[in-house]
Each structure stands twice: as C-alpha cells, then as structure tokens.
Amino acid sequence: MDVKEKNERRQMRRKRWKIILIIGIVALSVWALYPPSEKIHLGLDLLGGMHLILEVDTARLPENVSAGEAVDRALLVIRNRIDQFGVREPLIQKQGQSWIAVQLPGIKDPQRAIDIIGRTALLEFKLVDEKGELPSNISDTSGLSSENEVLYGTDGKAYLLKKEVLMTGAALSLARVDMDEYGRPRISLEFNKIGAGQFARITRRHVGERLAIILDNKVHSAPVIKQEITGGKAIIEGKFSVEEANDLAIVLKAGALPVPFKVGPEGEPFIEKRQVGPSLGEDSIRKGVFAIILGLILVLSFMFFYYRMSGLIADFALLLNIVILLGALAGFGATLTLPGIAGIILTVGMSVDANVLIFERIREEIRGGKGPWSAIAAGYSRAFPAILDSNLTTLITALLLFQFGTGPVKGFAVTLSLGILISMFTAIIVTRVIFDESVPREAQKLSI
C-alpha cells in the first residue's frame, strides 16, 4: 500500500466520523427540542408574568441580625408563600448583598401575588386535634366542626388542627440550631417574658399533645409536648438533618422577627417591578417569529441568488444552525426572551459571514487559476484565521453582555453566543463535508 492510498483512506475515515458527528448532533438537538412547546422555556416578556426585586432594609434590622441572615430568612418566607399559589416555574433568587429577585411567569392576578409576597410573615402555634379524624375528602371541609381546620405540612401531609391560635411569633425571642450530647441537631427556642408565661400554660395543659408550628398557614413541624416547660426555654428534638433543623429555625425566626423591606417609589415593598400581560407576550411571540421567518427567507434567498449551488449549501448549514441552536436552548434549559429572539435573528445574519468569507476566498482562488477542488481546500484553510478571530472577539462581547445583563438581555447574550459557536460548526465543518461529497476531485466548474 503506497502513501497516497494510505492518506486517502485516513481522510475517508475522518470524513465518515464527521458525518456521524453531524448526524448525531442534529439528532440530539431534535430530540432535545421535541415537542418545542414543552421544551423551550419562555421568558416573562413572552409568556407574561411578573418580575420583582425586593431589598432587605438593613438599616431597620435589629442589631443582632446580620444582613445575610435576614436575606436567607426572607427567601424562605417568600418561597413558602409562592408555593401556596402554585405558579409553574417560580424563580426566587438572592442577588448581591441584600436583593431578592422573584420571577412569577404566567401569573394571572399580579396584585394578589404582590399582596401575598409583601405581607409580614405570620407564625402561629396551634394544637393538633388528636381525637378528631381528618375528613375522608380533605378538600371538603363542610363536615368539619367549627373549632377545627385542616392545614397542610411542607411535606404535603394534611393536619387536623384546633383553630384557636395559642401563640404567635411575637412570643418568640430566639430560635437557633445546636447539638445535643450525641451530636444530633436540635432547635433551641427562647421566649420573651409574656411568651414564657403563655408557653408554660400551654405545655402544662397539653402534655402528650402535638403543637403545630405554622408559618403563613403551612405546618412546618408538629412536635409532641413532653412536659410542662417553664422558664421560657424550650428544645425541639427530632430526627432532623442539620439542614432540616436549620430550615425550621429560619421559619421560627421569620415569624418572630419579620424582615423589613425597603419601600419603592410606588409605596410597595419592592424596588423594581416588571409586569407583562399575556396578550402582549403573545403579540411579541407572533411578531418575533414572523421577523425570524422573514429575515431567514431574505437571507436564504440572497445567498442562493448570490452564490447559487454553494449558496444552497450555506443555506442548509444555516437551517441546521437554527435547529441546533434551538436544541441547545432546550437542552440547557435556557429561557427564550424577546431579545433572545433578536439574538437568533442576528445569528441568522451574522453566521452566514463565515460562509461569505470562505466563498469569497474560493472565488479569489478560482480567479487565481485554481481548479474547483483545490480552490475549495485553499478557501477553507485561508479563511479560517479570520473566521476564528472575528468570532472569538464577538464571543467576548457576548459574554460581557451575559455578565452585564438582567434577565432579557442575558437571553440575548445566550442565543448570540450559542449561535456564534454553532455557526463555527455548521458553516465550516458541515459545508465542507457537503462540498467534499458533492464536488469530485476532477470537477471543472463550481457553482459559486
């Protein structure tokens, strides 16, 4: 076997691998994308919904509470509340030192959400009714005696409670996690003066019963009262993990010491609010999709008219680019925003740049007297440095956009960066494979 033959074999093998890679990536994208209505997450600006930023007012915190602690507590309280009204994909995040960002996509009644989020946390202690029985149909509360109510625990379990509020968070002065002598986490409580008296009375009367700890109508724990507790200090023991114990302590503190939020210009407890109605969202999607299709048709036809068959190859690569881009968005669970749609459209315009660079170079090489086959090879290798450098610098700016941006702008940065990266694959590797497959070595003419 001579060297030439060996080389050819190696190239054949490499080409085969490339084809398998291309088919694999496309198949993966389609799989990640299907069905699109479920796999593509839409941002608030497209779906409608509400975005809020709350700022913990550190100046109004008691001296012994750090800002970080207060933010953690506020996060838990807000999460707890939002769980109650079943938004599909709420996002509740700490931002910087003292900000909390809340995103509620597709919310129908924004004012109710604002009311619920902005309210002070309510911590109550009620007894579990051990004698009564939960109604067989829990949602049907008509059979319940007027002294009882049904509330749910954080685990979704239903509790039959006595309605009477025995104590509120106002009675608590301290809640913290510590360890017993065996190193098991437990929660220490301290009550203030009034609270200590109340707690002594309750525990004396109800030894053996369970006392439910309820934050905003959700039962977080229901420890059994073991004995009368005087002196205003109590301990909740149980098979807690450290995390569970921490969460419960935060719940108790949240109720005892509500976290103050800064009041924004509208007199409501947040410093930023963005709200988009569902009709505007639908409108944006319709217009955005129309603009994508229009832009795509324009670019596809332009490339065909200008570069003929080679233009069609670039068009094919461009369509693959969009499929892979959408697949990647779905696969990474990224959120598609209106500026994100703009990023896709811009990708359509800019990603053909790589092919334009290559094709112009091939034309030059043909003008310089090369045959199609070697002109293609030279075109690809000579255009490559320019494509690499220009795309990497664009990527630098896109990454900065991601760093700088808030939600929607981030969406733009994500689609643009992905689009650029994917275009390096589709516009260089995919088109090259097609040229290699369709242009024989001895070809005399090239449609470009």
Partner 1 sequence: MKFLKKTSIDFIGMKKYAFGLSVVLIIIGVVSIIVRGGLNLGIDFIGGTLTQMKIQPMPAIEEVRKTLIENGLKDAQIQHFPKENEIIVRVKKGEVQLVEEIRLEILPQASGETLVQAVTAQIATQTPRMGGVESKFYEMFSKKFPQTRIEVTRAEMVGPAVGKKLLNQAIKALFAGVILIMVYIGWRFEFKYSAPAVLALLHDTFITIGILTLLNKEITVTIVAAILTLIGYSINDTIVVYDRIREKKRLFAKDELAKVMNIAINETLSRTIITSITTGLVLLSIFFAGGEVLHNFAFTLLFGIIIGTYSSIFVASPLVYELEKGVRS
Whose CA is closest to 420, among 385, 381, 388, 386? 388
- CA within 13 Å, CB half, 170: 7
Asked if 268 is part of the footprint of partner 1 (rule: CB under 8 A), the reply reads yes
- Among 125, 261, 380, 412, which residue sits at the site for partner 1 (rule: CB under 8 A)? 412
Question: With respect to partner 1, which residue has the nearer C-beta, 94 or 274?
Answer: 274
Question: With respect to partner 1, which residue has the nearer C-beta, 277 or 440?
Answer: 277
Least spacing, CB of residue 99 vs partner 1, in Å:
8
Stretch that binds partner 1, among 32-40, 249-257, 281-289, 425-433 (CB under 8 A): 281-289
Residues numbered 125-144 forming contacts with partner 1, rule: CB under 8 A: none
Residues 166, 216, 141: CA angle, nearest 5 degrees: 80
Least spacing, CB of residue 108 vs partner 1, in Å:
6
Question: With respect to partner 1, which residue has the nearer C-beta, 160 or 348?
Answer: 348
Asked if 55 is part of the footprint of partner 1 (rule: CB under 8 A), the reply reads yes
- Among 272, 437, 438, 443, which residue sits at the site for partner 1 (rule: CB under 8 A)? 272
Question: With respect to partner 1, which residue has the nearer C-beta, 45 or 129?
Answer: 45
Tokens 């969460």 sit at which residue? 247
Residues numbered 83-112 forming contacts with partner 1, rule: CB under 8 A: 96, 108-112
Residues numbered 380-409 forming contacts with partner 1, rule: CB under 8 A: 382, 385-386, 389-394, 396-398, 400-401, 403-406, 408-409
Which residues make Cβ contacts (< 8 Å) with residue 391, sequence separation at least 6? 354, 420, 423, 424
Asked if 53 and 270 count as a contact pair (C-beta separation under 8 A), the reply is yes
Asked if 426 and 317 count as a contact pair (C-beta separation under 8 A), the reply is yes
Q: Provide the mask over 291-330, with x wherever binding to partner 1 is found by CB under 8 A and - wherever it is not.
A: x--xxx-xx--xx-xxxx----------------------
User: ω before 35 within 30° of 0 (cis)?
Assistant: yes
Asked if 379 is part of the footprint of partner 1 (rule: CB under 8 A), the reply reads no
- Among 271, 319, 421, 429, which residue sits at the site for partner 1 (rule: CB under 8 A)? 271
Question: With respect to partner 1, which residue has the nearer C-beta, 167 or 352?
Answer: 352
Q: Provide the mask over 143-182, with x wherever binding to partner 1 is found by CB under 8 A and - wherever it is not.
A: ----------------------------------------
> From CA 135, how far away is CA 139, in angstroms rounded?
8
- CA within 13 Å, CB half, 91: 15
Asked if 335 is part of the footprint of partner 1 (rule: CB under 8 A), the reply reads no
Stretch that binds partner 1, among 28-36, 60-68, 140-148, 261-269 (CB under 8 A): 261-269
Asked if 352 and 314 count as a contact pair (C-beta separation under 8 A), the reply is yes
Q: By CB under 8 A, how many residues form the interface with partner 1?
A: 83
Residues numbered 23-52 forming contacts with partner 1, rule: CB under 8 A: 45
Tokens 């497959």 sit at which residue? 437
Least spacing, CB of residue 238 vs partner 1, in Å:
41
Asked if 283 is part of the footprint of partner 1 (rule: CB under 8 A), the reply reads yes
Furthest-apart CA atoms within the chain: distance in Å: 103
Asked if 287 is part of the footprint of partner 1 (rule: CB under 8 A), the reply reads yes
Question: With respect to partner 1, which residue has the nearer C-beta, 4 or 367?
Answer: 367
> From CA 40, how far away is CA 247, in angstroms rounded?
33
Asked if 218 and 153 count as a contact pair (C-beta separation under 8 A), the reply is yes
- Among 36, 68, 277, 333, which residue sits at the site for partner 1 (rule: CB under 8 A)? 277
Which amino acid, 433? V
Which amino acid, 107? I
> From CA 70, how far away is CA 257, in angstroms rounded?
9
Least spacing, CB of residue 430 vs partner 1, in Å:
18
- Among 353, 377, 429, 436, which residue sits at the site for partner 1 (rule: CB under 8 A)? 353
Tokens 């109650």 sit at which residue? 84
Asked if 82 is part of the footprint of partner 1 (rule: CB under 8 A), the reply reads no
Residues numbered 427-446 forming contacts with partner 1, rule: CB under 8 A: none
DSSP output for 354-398: HHHHHHHHHHHHHHTT--HHHHHHHHHHHHHHHHHHHHHHHHHHH
Which residues make Cβ contacts (< 8 Å) with residue 257, sequence separation at least 6? 62, 65, 73, 169
